[in-house]
Amino acid sequence: MTVPTSLTQATYNGANRALLLATLAFSACFSVWTLYAVMGITLRQQLALSATEYGILLAAPILTGAIFRLPMGMLADSFSARKLWLLQMLAVIPALLLLPFADSFSSYLLLGFWFGISGVSFSLGVRYVSQWFASSRQGRALGLFGIGNAGVAITFVLVPFAIEYAGWQWVGPIYGAGMLVISLLFALLAPAEPILQESWINKKKLKQLYKDARIWRFSLYYYFVFGSFLALLLWLPQYYMQAYSMNEQQAMAFTLFFAATSSMVRALGGWFADRYGGRAVNWSVFWVCIVCLFFLSYPPTTLVIHGLEKDVHLEISINVWWFTLLIFIIGVAQGFGRASVYKVIHDYYPNHMGSVGGFVAAIGALGGCTLPILFGVAQDVLGIVTGCFMILYGVLAMCMITMFFANQAAQYQQKLAAARSDNFLLDDRDALNCEDK
């Protein structure tokens, strides 16, 4: 059915089925997108990679997903997001089947770039899901869809299981077969969109749209709430192994806890955004995270206080349980933030969820690409294991400063509009008329 694109005030029949299939497909795509989060640990040992090279390896699939999120989101505003999504899922299968034949750093990078296109599934899914639900239910619907981030749990569970019982060479083919099954289910069961815009992309309108400062601010916020989440789930396994001398299985279990809880609370974050407003949720999220990052950024330190009779040695460090608690709080806050950002986007751009949502998602995914590299550089240059959290602290401080001044400007405009409505101030046309008289 084709109807004019407008702000949706009703929820269409089949919305829940569409949401279920979209979440399932997004989970599968996200598990492929983050495949190197688990494989990377073994590859780092096999290929003798430095921290910077390891960061580049983790970033390879994320980069492709980030780059293609915007153009695919733009296409989804004019063509069927469902059909584009199906083509995307089928396109990653050959790369997964070729994975057993990779034997060098460059070959793993190349295949990572290829199957990284699974990352565009978020842009397509946001456009697909948002067309089914009324505006008042967008936060919850997109929050439930975002639970697909928990697809990373599939990777953390399935990859070690496949390696132990089938062998390293079967990881790629198993994932390829799984993606084929999901593609068939999506093709057969996912309903066609109720709203489909048949016109070609209006390039002039898009240029005007991307000049809007709000879109860039939302992108910066998403760079933190999603980009840092993605970077952390890629980086945490080796962090646990380095900082707390864990084995690989223990590090995976702790990282899985972070990723799963952060993903599952996204639906709750969408409900809060519907009820209290996306901006209020975002601001609260930032304050919670910056307090936690302050403690996480402090490296293990030993102080020597020279007393009158003896020296006092004072050690400052965070043990593994306090560290996990702080990471858990950050993950939950980020889950709320990811949902609230897209609630705000839908409030401002309901008819451009593909293009605007794709742009914001692309910038957020770039966080998952650039931050692991910066983490590796910080570790190689500074030699401090907590350098990654120092970088996140700086990124978040920039987000909070930007949001503060944006809110101040918005409040000023509201007060100015209220004053003009009460005839306290004259607008420009009234002033000109008074001068003519």
pLDDT tens for the 437 residues of the chain, in order:
333 344 445 567 778 888 899 999 999 998 898 888 888 878 888 888 887 888 888 888 988 888 888 788 778 777 888 889 999 999 999 999 998 888 888 999 999 999 999 988 888 888 888 888 777 777 778 778 877 777 778 888 888 887 777 777 788 889 999 999 999 999 999 888 776 554 445 555 566 666 777 888 888 888 999 889 888 988 888 899 888 888 888 888 898 888 888 888 887 887 888 788 878 888 899 999 999 999 998 887 777 888 777 878 777 778 899 999 999 999 999 989 888 888 888 778 777 766 787 788 888 888 888 888 888 888 888 888 888 899 999 989 988 898 888 777 767 677 777 766 766 555 555 544 544 44
pLDDT for residue 92? 93
Q: With 0.75 as the threshold, say if the pTM is over it.
A: no
Spatial CB neighbours of 251, under 8 Å, sequence gap ≥ 6: 41, 236, 237, 238, 239, 240, 241
The Cα–Cα gap between 346 and 365 comes to 19
The answer to whether 118 touches 65, Cβ cutoff 8 Å, is: yes
What does the chain come to in residues?
437
Q: What is the bridge-based pairing of β-strands 311-316 and 301-306?
A: antiparallel
Q: Given this model, what pLDDT does residue 345 score? A: 83
**pLDDT on residue 9:** 52
Q: Read off φ and ψ for residue 315, nearest 5 degrees.
A: -105, 130
* Residue 225 DSSP class: I
| Residue written as token pair 């302050």 | 294
Burial (CB count <10 Å: 0-12, 13-18, 19+), residue 336: buried
Domain residue ranges in the chain = 15-436
**125, 141 in Cβ contact below 8 A?**
no
Euclidean distance between CA atoms 375 and 395, whole angstroms: 13
CA dist 376 → 49, 53, 227, 385 (Å): 11, 8, 16, 10
Looking at the domain covering 15-436, what would its CATH class be? mainly alpha
Pull the structure tokens for residue 109: 């990078």
Sign of CA dihedral 146, 274, 232, 357: positive
**Residue position matching structure tokens 């062998």:** 167
Closest by alpha carbon to 288, among 251, 262, 260, 315? 262
3-state secondary structure of 305: strand
Contact 125, 148 (CB under 8 A): yes
Q: CA quadruple 160, 166, 168, 170: dihedral positive or negative?
A: negative
- β-pair partners for 302: 315
What pLDDT is stored for residue 198 in this prediction? 47
